């Protein structure tokens, strides 16, 4: 079973790029299930119409992260849609759900969305304990984890902690694709970060001058804006044995305009 995971989508131009490219790529690679991290579709946050566009583009599940609730319009939408996941280890008072089981022609697939605690600006529950709690109640053999986290060590540690108990775990949030895609000893596929879907000539999808000015110490006078120009799609393709739920291979993905 081929599982495609797409890194943080940044801006409307990235959403439009996926609408042009994703279904064709799914057919080319024989993708059975696709998870897209959409928490930056509105640069900071996601709007309902952008979520709808990502589903139309080929996403089966949308995961979020630290900007999950940035756009107020998404809050009631999260209560309506169980295929848009916010981090499961946020407060139980948060709208929406953090994990789900989804039926496919090749069996049930569980997806868990978690957020890290290192270098984040708020205090979510321990993602290791939350992962244990969720994994222990799942019936699906294929279990996928989007770990939205800053620290590479935290991402790797959770993957090793869950090795053999989940099919694949990938990192999101840093928007830079890593070159360490591999299958861990007990059969869990892992990559530290999927990368980003958005403008190639950008800093993490944002107009370069805005990010440069921030590091120069200039006050931010306008909201972050998506960078313009040609886009790229980054992510990873996991080959999963549907009988055992273990990963057979990991392939980093990058598609340019």
> Any bridge partners for residue 192, and if so which?
none
Whether the Cβ atoms of residue 188 and residue 179 lie closer than 8 Å to each other: no
CA 202, CA 85: separation in Å to the nearest integer?
A: 27
Nearest to 69 by CA among 54, 58, 79: 79
Task: Determine whether 9 is exposed, middle or buried from the number of CB atoms within 10 Å of its CB (0-12, 13-18, 19+).
Answer: buried
In the structure encoding, which two tokens stand for residue 114, read together? 């978690």
Task: Determine whether 23 is exposed, middle or buried from the number of CB atoms within 10 Å of its CB (0-12, 13-18, 19+).
Answer: middle
Q: Give all strands (DSSP E) within 68-141, no chain letters.
A: 84-85, 99-104, 107-115
Whether the Cβ atoms of residue 7 and residue 191 lie closer than 8 Å to each other: no
In the structure encoding, which two tokens stand for residue 85, read together? 């996941």
CA 126, CA 114: separation in Å to the nearest integer?
A: 9
Q: Which of 67, 148, 173, 175 is catalytic?
A: 67
Task: Count Cβ atoms below 10 Å from residue 253 Cβ, excluding itself.
Answer: 19
* 161 is a catalytic site residue: no
In the structure encoding, which two tokens stand for residue 149, read together? 């986290």
Residues with catalytic function: 67
């Amino acid at each position: 079973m081929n599982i495609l995971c797409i890194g943080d989508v940044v801006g409307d131009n990235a959403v439009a790029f996926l609408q042009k490219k994703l279904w064709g790529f799914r057919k080319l690679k024989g993708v059975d299930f696709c998870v897209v991290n959409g928490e930056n579709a509105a640069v900071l946050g996601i709007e309902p119409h952008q979520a709808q566009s990502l589903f139309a583009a080929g996403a089966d599940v949308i995961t979020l992260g630290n900007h999950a609730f940035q756009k107020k319009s998404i809050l009631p939408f999260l209560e309506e849609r169980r295929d848009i996941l916010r981090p499961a280890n946020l407060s139980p008072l948060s709208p929406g759900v953090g994990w789900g089981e989804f039926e496919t022609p090749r069996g049930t697939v569980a997806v868990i969305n978690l957020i890290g605690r290192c270098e984040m600006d708020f205090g979510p529950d321990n993602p290791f304990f939350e992962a244990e709690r969720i994994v222990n109640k799942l019936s699906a053999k294929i279990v996928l984890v989007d770990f939205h986290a800053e620290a590479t060590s935290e991402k790797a540690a959770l993957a090793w902690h869950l090795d053999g108990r989940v099919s694949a775990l990938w990192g999101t949030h840093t928007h830079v694709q890593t070159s360490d895609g591999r299958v861990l000893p007990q059969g869990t596929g892992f990559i530290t970060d999927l990368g980003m879907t958005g403008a190639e000539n950008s800093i993490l999808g944002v107009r370069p001058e805005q990010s440069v000015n921030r590091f120069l110490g200039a006050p931010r006078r306008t909201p972050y804006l998506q960078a313009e120009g040609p886009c790229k799609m980054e992510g990873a393709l996991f080959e999963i044995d549907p009988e055992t739920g273990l990963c057979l291979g990991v392939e980093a993905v990058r598609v340019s305009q």
